[in-house]
Amino acid sequence: MEVKTLREVIICTACLKPKEITLVKLEECLEGVQSHVFPVEEATTDTLWKVAVRYFNVLTQFAEQGLIETQDKSADGEEVINLHDLAHYITAIDYVRQFTLHLYLPKELRGLSKYEAQMMVMVEEPERVRRLSHCVAQFRRLFDKKMLALHPRLEDCVVDFIAACYNLSNASLIEDHKLPTFPKERIFHSLLVIKGSPGLPLALAQLLHSDLLRLTGEPGGFPVLCRTLLTVGASNENTPAWHKSEVIAKIVCSKGHTKKFYRQVLVDCFEFYHWAVQTGTEEALVYAATCIECLKRFYQLPAAYRELHERIETHFFADFRMLAAPREIVTGCIVAERLKLVSNLLVCNMAFIGSTLTSLPSSLLVPYLHLFLKLYSMLPNALEEHLYLQNMIVFCLNNRSKVELQQIVNALLMGRSDGEIGRYILHPRMAIKHTENDTSYNLQIGPSANDGDTETDNLLPVLVTVLKASDRNLLIYDTFLILLTELMTGVWTDESIRENQLLDDVEREGALCSRFYQKYVLIQSLMDLISHRHFHTQLYDSPGEILQVLTTFLTKVIDGPDEANASGGHDSAETLEIVLSIFQEFLQRTRNRQEVDGILKLLERYKRTGACSDAMKTQINLLCSKTTFAGDGECETACQNALSLCSDQQPYCKVYGTTLLLKLLQERDPETLTQRHKILILALTNLRNEESYAFLNSVRLLVALCSVLEAEVVDALVKEYQNENNEVDYRLKIGEATVKTVETLGAFAVRYRDTLLNCFLAGTRHTVDEFRASSLSNVGSMCRILSYQVHNFFYEAFTTIQSIVTTDGYLPARRAAILVLSQLLEGIDGLMDFQEYLLLIYRFLKHVIATDRDDVTKLQAAVALDHLKAKTKDFLQINPDELERRMLVKVSAGLSPAQHDTGGGSGSEEKKV
């Protein structure tokens, strides 16, 4: 038949309205081809079937001859589809489907697709099967054309075709790939529609279920299943999306599938989840929730499915494990870029937010808490990564039992790992490197640290910051209670360290410093939490548990003095003093409760014992007095008013409060002296203030505290200066405050000489240029304050200065280094005692004068060389009497004690000589 005739039949059929699809109208459309002899002439009197056979021939011939036109006649000519013909052709196919394929389906499968033709047929079962087979064969020829198999308007044709195929075969069509190349989404949709047909035979339903699982287990099958099930019946408001997600999870996560199925579904689930999270639309988030539901059920499978559990953990946390154990530890090696880190955090954040019913198990986060807290402290506050990390940390802690939470908090306080807690920590050489854009950075391997001081990596203050930024008051309350219990019952005595025979003097000293820093962090954390305003509501609404803990502790200290003295009574008294300082305001606000009366009576009893110091008696008198709070919340005592002002956010209030505290410290106010630990923590906190006047007043307050808390002030300043978690600007302020404090101590600062010089000499190796220059300046200031009595550090200081002047590219640091060397040569006494180093110093100064390009550096080197020459000249031109006196002193120092006896003849003779 000619293409023109075929086209006329198709256009005529496509122009029919749905209600006009009758046998008479169809025969009228076929008038143009009535004279043609068709390849298959049916010997039957059924006119409808004859019309159907002729339409099949028209459709197949037009698909071969007229649907695709060749643009040019050459062999390589481009094939072009006539879109106008394609539209009519698709409509004609759908109409033919209604009076052919659809009519010969069994009754239970006829309601699956749209049917608008005004026809029906009654035939015997063998004849129905024969005709249905012929229809399936003809439609298969049409669907061999990819353009028809993929066309969205033929969805009903595909449903009827697949239903007919299953009705005829009664065997799997997916396993042997017996279906045309339909899109996987369409096959899924068709199978689900067929499976949902009422009255479906059980055998066919099981076969469809099996084929659906086979499709799901193929690459890309899981996303198609999700899209299909979440789309089918989307208009049904009675079926929420979470219920459909549970259905999908039950399908893919039930027991009994093959390992290949589980692995492929897991891979598809990961990819689909990543796509949904990155897309971020409302529809995509529904898909993401479905993926999380499936992963959660995978993780709930028993131990026999441990491989799936490990795959899930590896997928979410493999990149974070790289931060804990990088493959390369070469300095400058980039471990993670910001875009990659943000993507990983976003993916994990979506999986671990919300309720426990819609998230992965929070226990997965426990091994990474230390790493997340360290990242939180390193990254800038303004970035979105902070929020992601905060959400995961709070979600994990909020779902822990009290015992687990206590283990986590104690592990953070002590800086140790406990089983899964602290299993992964950020590599100690991991550093953040900002690029030209302040919002972009890389995590890379930094230079190796020369010291093993890891105690400054205490992450408890970071946890406190995270909790204060959240709105989980119950979690804050539980954490506060754990810290309070640890302060009261923890082993903080120094005797346990001193009595350890396995430690040498250096190790014992280091352990004592570490113990002090942990206790300082513990006290600071308690002060930060109890001063958090959002925590006040929870604290004052239900103070019973806190008061019970306080009562138990006081009873143990007061009623068991012998046991307390045996195990460290001084430490118990000191802990009691700190606890009362922390809870002074709390006890005064809740003094109308019966439990508080019991606490006050216990304190009165303790005041009458011999273990109570005068300072403690003063503090107890203040607590047991009738001091109350005014209606506006201000304290009636001068100390409480000053502390309240210092805690205010306004700089002028901080300054005024600091001035009041300085005055109270000068007047030796008893209450202020008892609050000295709280004042120390408050002063260190206010040093972070950007207002210079507030900062300078905080320095004055630290200086004033040295009169009552000397060692603690110096140790706290040194620890804050060495803490790499602090910002550089804040550490520079700490350095300035340390110098001012040591100037106040004057000659008494010699007892802290080793700690201070080691601290600042370590700072001269910092990567930040300004920090190195500041550390060198602080070294010079320390030497000047100590009257240059730094002989033990002379050679170390010289090698540090030599290294900086030789290799440092920062000019102010080189100038500062050579200036410090000049001051040392000028001020140190007994310079000639270092004769083995003087030649090295001389050659170094001559080399700097000859080779350095900076005139100021050369000038300082020349001045240092003059000081060296002057000291050498004075030594060589010594008075003979003075030389004889020095020789006699050295000879006398070398004699044995017996030879110093005036009765010994040899000793007397030597003295005469």
Domain end position, chosen among 200, 216, 231: 200
- Is the pLDDT assigned to residue 684 strictly greater than 90? no
Q: C-alpha distances in angstroms, 634 versus 637, 648, 679, 685? A: 9, 12, 18, 21
- Written as six digits, the tokens of 475 are 């979690």
Residue 438 lies in a domain: no
Rounded CA separation 50/47 (Å): 5
Rounded CA separation 750/102 (Å): 101
Rounded CA separation 884/703 (Å): 47
pLDDT digits (tens, 9 = 90+) for 374-411: 999 888 887 888 899 999 999 999 998 999 999 999 88
The distance of Cα 726 from the centroid of its chain, to the nearest Å, equals 18
Residue type, 758: N
- Written as six digits, the tokens of 615 are 């300072």
- Pick the residue with more confidence: 562 or 648? 648
Residue 814 lies in a domain: yes
Rounded CA separation 346/389 (Å): 9
Q: Which long-range contacts (CB under 8 A, 24 or more apart) does 485-492 make?
A: 485/549, 486/409, 486/410, 486/413, 486/522, 487/519, 487/522, 487/523, 487/526, 487/575, 487/578, 487/579, 488/549, 488/553, 488/575, 488/579, 489/553, 490/522, 492/519, 492/571, 492/575
Residue 347 lies in a domain: no
Q: How confident is the model at residue 899 (pLDDT cuts 50, 70, 90)?
A: very low
Place of tokens 């810290």: 483
Place of tokens 């059920």: 297
Q: C-alpha distances in angstroms, 495 versus 57, 411, 570, 729? A: 102, 22, 11, 38
Residue type, 15: C
Taking alpha carbons only, the member of 727, 729, 736, 731 closest to residue 719 is 731
Residue 24 lies in a domain: yes
CA torsion 33→36→40→42, rounded to 10°?
70
Residue 28 lies in a domain: yes
SS (H, E, C) 661-683: HHHHHHCCCHHHHHCHHHHHHHH
The average pLDDT across 32-55 equals: 72
- Pick the residue with more confidence: 241 or 79? 241
- Written as six digits, the tokens of 613 are 């110091």
pLDDT for the residue 266: 92
- Pick the residue with more confidence: 333 or 595? 333
In the chain, the number of structural domains is 2
Q: C-alpha distances in angstroms, 793 versus 175, 504, 819? A: 81, 22, 17
Mean of the per-residue pLDDT values of the chain: 80
Q: Which of 401-405, 507-511, 642-646 has the lowest mean pLDDT?
A: 507-511
Do residues 702 and 737 touch, judged by C-beta distance below 8 A? yes
Rounded CA separation 760/639 (Å): 35
Helix (H) or strand (E) holding 336: strand 334-337
The average pLDDT across 337-362 equals: 86
Rounded CA separation 906/898 (Å): 10
pLDDT for the residue 175: 74
pLDDT digits (tens, 9 = 90+) for 287-310: 999 999 999 988 888 888 888 889
Residue 231 lies in a domain: no
pLDDT for the residue 69: 60
**What totals of helices (H) and strands (E) does the chain contain, helices first?**
44, 5
Do residues 57 and 38 touch, judged by C-beta distance below 8 A? yes
The average pLDDT across 345-361 equals: 83
Name every residue whose Cβ is closer than 8 Å to that of residue 868 and which is 6 or more positions away in sequence.
Answer: 825, 831, 838, 841, 842, 845
Taking alpha carbons only, the member of 335, 236, 320, 250 closest to residue 290 is 250
- Written as six digits, the tokens of 278 are 């990155």
Do residues 174 and 132 touch, judged by C-beta distance below 8 A? no
Taking alpha carbons only, the member of 74, 72, 69 closest to residue 7 is 69
pLDDT digits (tens, 9 = 90+) for 359-383: 888 899 999 999 999 999 888 887 8
**Alpha-carbon torsion (286, 288, 291, 295), positive or negative:** negative
- Helix ranges (DSSP H) in 583-646: 584-589, 594-607, 614-624, 638-646
Rounded CA separation 839/844 (Å): 8
- Pick the residue with more confidence: 199 or 831? 199
Residue 689 lies in a domain: no
Rounded CA separation 349/334 (Å): 24
Rounded CA separation 332/385 (Å): 23
To the nearest whole percent, how much of the chain has pLDDT over 70? Answer: 84
pLDDT for the residue 320: 92
Q: How confident is the model at residue 607 (pLDDT cuts 50, 70, 90)?
A: confident
CB neighbours of residue 422 within 10 Å: 21
CB neighbours of residue 348 within 10 Å: 24
Rounded CA separation 27/48 (Å): 9
The distance of Cα 213 from the centroid of its chain, to the nearest Å, equals 37
Q: Which of 85-99, 595-609, 766-780 has the lowest mean pLDDT?
A: 595-609
- Written as six digits, the tokens of 796 are 């170390």
Burial (CB count within 10 angstroms: exposed 0-12, middle 13-18, buried 19+), residue 202 = exposed
pLDDT for the residue 565: 43
Name every residue whose Cβ is closer than 8 Å to that of residue 496 and which is 6 or more positions away in sequence.
Answer: none
pLDDT digits (tens, 9 = 90+) for 822-844: 888 888 777 776 777 788 888 88
Report if pTM > 0.85. no
The distance of Cα 441 from the centroid of its chain, to the nearest Å, equals 16
Do residues 221 and 257 touch, judged by C-beta distance below 8 A? no
Residue 114 lies in a domain: yes
SS (H, E, C) 64-130: HHCCEEECCCCCCCCEEECHHHHHHHHHHHHHHHHHCCCCCCCHHHHHHCCCCCCCCCCCCHHHHHH
The average pLDDT across 239-264 equals: 85
Rounded CA separation 466/390 (Å): 6
Helix (H) or strand (E) holding 433: strand 430-434
Taking alpha carbons only, the member of 680, 527, 606, 711 closest to residue 672 is 680
pLDDT for the residue 802: 86
Owning domain of residue 868:
788-877
pLDDT for the residue 903: 44
